[in-house]
Structure 1
């Protein structure tokens, strides 16, 4: 088949399996096989696919037909302008989480303008692919960033991303705050698991292919926030702060959890105007 026939065939296969955006996904997968941009497919639409290219494309379409996430097949995801390696060992970084890094950078620069020390010591809990930790270290060179995760498999991916992107982050394996309890921190930042059990069962099949521990936040989705609020006072420096991603409907509940522990909180929206990030100090 030629390139145009391949795009049409891929779209038809994915449409039959009720995959969202079947033409886009087919195009992106074929572009990935050919190592060209999507627009190049249309410019070269009459070119015949080589046998190995067609075989690989059919395999990738088969995987996508089973609702394997596009990012796992391509083994890449862009986040904060950086390209991260991802596979089934880690949560796929979402654009929503970029708000967390952007807000952190804004707050750090405000502190710097007020004369606070620029050598910011940051712990990124539940680091997964390392997207948050690496992005913070990349865009604020004065920071010392530690990324932690319970999963050694996730940390292997994070380490690989640190090497690939040439960014220095210290990686520590352990449960929750265990890897950071012996020190005091300027910042604790995290995109924690915050999906309730009931909501998780309603997720799209692609999400169910990602590590469940990266989503499930207990029965009501708030378990991580409760645990962190209990320990935070012992983990932070005097001017220390916590910045966390939250679900769109969790701002009030998470705010109350931290306020009961003596923290003042502030909520920031994402680009769609939904509550997305909470600051506790």
Structure 2
């Protein structure tokens, strides 16, 4: 059967894909990804074929006997090849869902993770508790290490009275963030700069951040897909705590009297990060993700 083409054949020619049915394409794609040890091979193969055909995944199973054109087959082959090389599915598709919103992503930004939704949900809880819409002055929020803008844009989308600034050292990341804000119709300001240095001389009601917090040792043990994402979005110094040290030692002059800091942490970093903030005169609370792991710290 045509979907049993070898990897070398699939790389060099689309001949042999002619007349391939959708169901056979799905099986072939799954087989190719399995050979490379890709997790969720059938799911990924299905989504890549659905992307080629511009249909939903369930539509593939309804139109299983549709014949792929040569152009569609070649496009699909190329996408399967990229995924076989451990390129993240989100980069191939050019999108990732976060907080129910669809964000554009590419190799310039970290792919938003579901774990970070805990940070936004907690931040929204705090904002809604502290402020009522339509009353008082605007709420000033800054998102440090904004990357794709997922945190800043989600916050502005779900709490529109907030004036949100997203900061990142990478101009490429800020290009992605601006594109996402425009596509989602959300007003956020963007600024290129190095963490706290970019906001000195200003006062903030809330500072949120998902900073780099992975140590080099842990980074080397990550899944191969991780190495396609920008390393600067992961590496947080020898022990992964460099950005928390900078934040703990420098944030107090930048906060309004009732200001708060909300940050994502690694699952085993709560004690160390809380200690850093406590030593600098800030009180801390720790919140868990759905798996019961420490995920978010609030400092005030």
Q: If the TM-score is normalised by the length of the shorter chain, which range does it land in?
A: over 0.9
Query: 2:274 aligned with 1:255, yes or no?
Result: yes
How far does the alpha carbon of each residue in 1:124-181 deviate from its partner, in whole angstroms, 9 at most, with x for none?
0000000000000000011000000000000000001011111010000011112211
For residues 128 and 28 of structure 1, the distance between their equivalents in structure 2, rounded to whole angstroms, comes to 25
**Alignment of structure 1 residues 43-54 onto 2, 5 Å:** 43-54=62-73
| Structure ID, larger Rg | 2
Q: Which moves more between the two structures, 48-57 or 241-250?
A: 48-57
How far 1:208 moved relative to its partner? 1.1
For residues 12 and 30 of structure 1, the distance between their equivalents in structure 2, rounded to whole angstroms, comes to 14
2:50 corresponds to which residue? Answer: 31
SS at match of 1:63: helix
- Segments of structure 2 that go 5 or more residues without pairing to the other structure are 1-19
1:138 corresponds to which residue? Answer: 157
For residues 106 and 36 of structure 1, the distance between their equivalents in structure 2, rounded to whole angstroms, comes to 37
1:5 corresponds to which residue? Answer: 24
2:131 corresponds to which residue? Answer: 112
Task: Please report the TM-score for the alignment, with normalisation by the length of structure 2.
Answer: 0.92
For residues 135 and 250 of structure 2, the distance between their equivalents in structure 1, rounded to whole angstroms, comes to 24
Task: Please report the TM-score for the alignment, with normalisation by the length of structure 1.
Answer: 0.98
CA contact (8 A) 1:118 1:143 kept: no
Q: Which moves more between the two structures, 176-185 or 155-164?
A: 176-185
For residues 118 and 206 of structure 1, the distance between their equivalents in structure 2, rounded to whole angstroms, comes to 44
For residues 277 and 269 of structure 2, the distance between their equivalents in structure 1, rounded to whole angstroms, comes to 12
For residues 125 and 137 of structure 2, the distance between their equivalents in structure 1, rounded to whole angstroms, comes to 13
For residues 205 and 151 of structure 1, the distance between their equivalents in structure 2, rounded to whole angstroms, comes to 23
Query: 2:229 aligned with 1:207, yes or no?
Result: no
How far 1:118 moved relative to its partner? 5.8
CA contact (8 A) 1:118 1:142 kept: no
How far 1:182 moved relative to its partner? 2.0
CA contact (8 A) 1:147 1:171 kept: yes
2:140 corresponds to which residue? Answer: 121
Q: CA RMSD in A?
A: 1.3
CA contact (8 A) 1:112 1:118 kept: no
For residues 118 and 175 of structure 1, the distance between their equivalents in structure 2, rounded to whole angstroms, comes to 28
SS at match of 1:206: helix
How far does the alpha carbon of each residue in 1:88-107 deviate from its partner, in whole angstroms, 9 at most, with x for none?
00000001100111000001
1:191 corresponds to which residue? Answer: 210
Query: 2:262 aligned with 1:243, yes or no?
Result: yes
How far 1:51 moved relative to its partner? 1.4
How far does the alpha carbon of each residue in 1:238-265 deviate from its partner, in whole angstroms, 9 at most, with x for none?
1110000000110100000000000000
SS at match of 2:224: coil
- Segments of structure 1 that go 5 or more residues without pairing to the other structure are none
Residues 118 and 45 from structure 1, CA distance in 2 versus in 1: closer, same or farther, beyond 3 angstroms?
A: farther
